[in-house]
Every structure is written in C-alpha cells, then in structure tokens.
Amino acid sequence: MPSSTAVQLRELLETLLQSPMPVRLRAWDGSETGPTGTPLLIVRTRRALRRLMWRPDELGLARAYVSGDLDVTGDLYDALGRLAPLIFRGADARGLPKRAVAAQLLRLGVLGPEPKPPPEEIAMRGSRHTRHRDGQAISHHYDVGNNFYRIVLGESMVYSCAYWTSTDAGYDLAAAQRDKLDLICRKLALKPGMRLLDVGCGWGALALHAAREYGVDVVGITLSAEQADYARKQVAEAGLTAHMEIRIQHYHDADDGPYDAISSVGMAEHVGSGRYAEYAAALFRQLKPGGRLLNHQIAAIHPGTAGAKKRRSFIDAYVFPDGELASLGSTVSVLEEAGFEVRDVHALREHYARTLRAWVTNLEADWPTAVRLAGAGRARVWRLYMAASAMAFEQARIGINQVLCVKARRDGTSGMSATRQAWQG
C-alpha cells in the first residue's frame, strides 16, 4: 500500500533538513502525519518543497513561510522552539544523498526550477554602508507604513526595547516604553535649555518626551521619510516646533554641535562594524565636554569566528539588510578609542524578550488590518522575525545594552554622580 502524501513529505523533509521532524505535518492534499499535541506545519503547495530543495536552511524555510506556501497553526513559539535546531543549524546540501532525494522529489511531483524569492526579500546593490545603500536599507525596514507600525508598536510608536518596571496586570507596553524613555533622559541628566541630538530618532517618541518633560531643545535625525513625516506632525500637534527639529539626515552630516547630550537608540546596529569607529568619532565631535552619550544597542553575545563566511540569513534578506551585531566588548572598545569614558553598562536582554512578545500579540490581535495595510507577506515577515527574536533574547543568543558614556572635561572631571541613584529605576 503506497504511503500517504504526508508520510512521503515527512521523509523528504527529514532528508533535506537532516533531522527528524519535531512537529505534525499536513500535506497539500489534506493528509497528515507526525506527533500529535504539537504545532501543525502545513505544506500548502509543492512549491514549498522546491524552495527547501534549493535552499535547505533557514532562508528556504522563511521563503516558504513568507510566500504562504508554508504555514503554522498552533503556538508559533512552540513551533519555533521545536524547529530551532533546524533553523539555526541549517543543512549542508553537499552531504545530501542526491539519488534518494531525487527519487522522493519525483514521487511527490515537485521537481522543478528554483522559485523566485517572495517580493518582500530585498537584494541590496553597491558597497555596504555607503550613504545610498544605508538609505535603501533603512527605507526597506522602516517605510512599511506608519499605520502598520502603529498596530505593532501600539500608541507609543517606540521601536526599541521597553523597560518593564512592574508585573502588575494594568502595567502595559505603553507604560514600559514611557519608563524606558524616562530612564534614558535621567541617564543623560537632561535639564531645561540643554541641546539633545537624537540619532536615529524613529517616530520621535524620545525626542518628544525629552522636550516635553525635561525642557530640552532636540534635533532628531532619521533616514526614513515616513518616520520624519510622522514625527514632524507629532511635534506640531504638541506645540513644540520652537524646541524640536526633525531632519532626514545621515549621521555624518550632523555638524551643528556642540550638543549637551546625544542619544543613539537602536541606531548603531545599522552602522556596520567597518564604519563604527567613524560613527563613534562623529558623535564624539558633536558632544560638548562634560556631555553624555547614551548608546542603546543589540549585541552578539557569542560572536562567530572573525572572518567566517556566513550564509545569507532570513533577518538580512527580509528584515534588517546590512545590519550587524557587534559584541558588547567591541562596542565599548570602539567608544573608548573615540575618546569617550564608559561610565555604565546596563543589560536589558529580558526586557527586550518581553517587548517583542508584546509586539507579536499586538500584530496577531489585529492581523486582518495588518495584512490589508502591508500585505500578507510583509505581515508574515514581521510575525516570524519578532517571535524568533523574542526567543533569541530569552535563550541568550543575543543581548541588548545601554552604554552610558561621558566626554570628559579638560581637567578630567565628568560632572557625574559617583552613584547611580540619580537615574536608577
């Protein structure tokens, strides 16, 4: 008696991915196989298998999911946890038994050319981290539509790690983001009349909080036209145009310092390791003696071997093109080499895991609207990347840190308290 399509499918996937399938499978004809009580992986079309045949790793799986050829029902986090050994290890196609694979593919009727990647996948051109390419990368990620981001981020429109200071039932994402913004302002010791440069200002939440609550004059810079448009409207509605300016500007072109303080929140990941020294030096030049820098940055906790060739990942192809994660140690070293004195390092890894889960909940709660605004593929990209990132933070595969620096005065004094009491929350 011939095996069902689902059984043949499971055998093929286990061959391609070189591992037993840890979830239940449903084939395009409705047949199922695999352990019960687990998430259900639905292979809707034969094209999903062709994607995996040509790319048996996380990018192949991602292409199948983003395109809708592959779907998951049940707990997405559970599914990712079970599939993580496959997703993050990847398979070496050179070790596959080609005759066996070809026979399985022939039986299932899926032999064919490599399918085109989904349109949500970006192919970057030109040299990495040039001005033009930086603008292209930022636009790809951030110019998805402000209404879409409002669904994901909620009313705060803050796209960075929140600071969760309470476990009370009524304490929500908006409150945690407000606490994060205030934490940054306290660390920078902002006072009325100071000038703040917010590098990578996003939709302007930190700049608005600093101007409204601390009385500072703020210049916020971004490369995203949609972010700038949104932030400018918020500034006008708040009646703060005399104290705030939002620019579409590269960090190299910010040359109207000195500033009393600089914030860089979720920006440095886009700079690239080859340009990070230039970035740190540019910020140092714009800061007055005694001024502070708050650098809020995702970090690689276990960096790979230097110079090792890496296959293109889902994150690079769909989410953060050209994004690079440096280790905390290398970031601190570069900041010190630029002239900064590092005064405090604050790890927020668990806070970002909780933030990402809140964003996923927001997206899933208004899924039909998100699909209408950004398309099904883009919504799937965001759901997958945020859920996978939450698990990466929870499992200590990546971290995030706030590094507080000062530009010492000529006499060596920092003007900082010897304790953390002034800002610690």
The structural domains of the chain, ordered by start, are: 5-108 (no CATH), 131-406 (3.40.50.150)
Does residue 150 have a pLDDT over 50?
yes
Distance, CA of 109 to CA of 105 (rounded, Å): 6
pLDDT digits (tens, 9 = 90+) for 288-341: 999 999 999 999 987 764 444 467 788 888 887 777 889 999 999 999 999 999
Q: What is the mean pLDDT of residues 168-172?
A: 94
* Residue 221 structure tokens: 């810079």
DSSP alpha helix (H) spans, 288-327: 314
What are the two backbone dihedrals, phi and then psi, of residue 234, each rounded to the nearest 5 degrees?
A: -65, -40
- Each residue of 14-32: pLDDT tens digit? 877 777 889 999 999 999 9
How is residue 29 written in tokens? 């004809």
b/e map 26-61, b = 16+ CB within 10 Å: bbbeeebbbeeebbbbbbebbbbbbbbbebbbbbbb
5: tokens are: 């399509």
What is d(CA 13, CA 29) in angstroms, rounded to the nearest whole number? 17
Residue (of 215, 206, 265) closest to 240 by Cα position = 215
Mean pLDDT of the chain: 89
3-class SS at 246? strand
Residue that has been written with the tokens 């769909």 in this structure? 318
Three-state DSSP state, 24: strand
Is residue 42 very low, low, confident or very high in pLDDT (cuts 50, 70, 90)? Answer: very high
The pLDDT tens digits for 365-394 are 999 999 999 999 999 999 999 999 999 999
pLDDT at 92 over 60: no
Check if the beta carbon of residue 133 is closer than 8 Å to that of residue 274.
Answer: no
The helix/strand/coil state of 336 is helix
Task: Tell the residue number behind the tokens 């934490």, with chain if given.
Answer: 183
Is 340 within 8 Å of 293 (Cβ atoms)? yes
- pLDDT confidence bin for 148, thresholds 50/70/90: very high
In what side-by-side order are the strands of the sheet with 70-73?
A: 32-33, 24-26, 40-43, 70-73
Biggest alpha carbon–alpha carbon distance for the chain: 87
Q: Is 327 within 8 Å of 401 (Cβ atoms)?
A: no
What's the CA gap between 190 and 216, in Å, rounded?
A: 7
Residue 89 pLDDT class (50, 70, 90 cuts) = low
C-alpha distance from residue 411 to each of 266, 283, 293, 339, 415 (Å): 32, 21, 19, 14, 11
Residues in CB range of 387: below 8 A, 6 or more apart: 76, 77, 80, 356, 357, 360
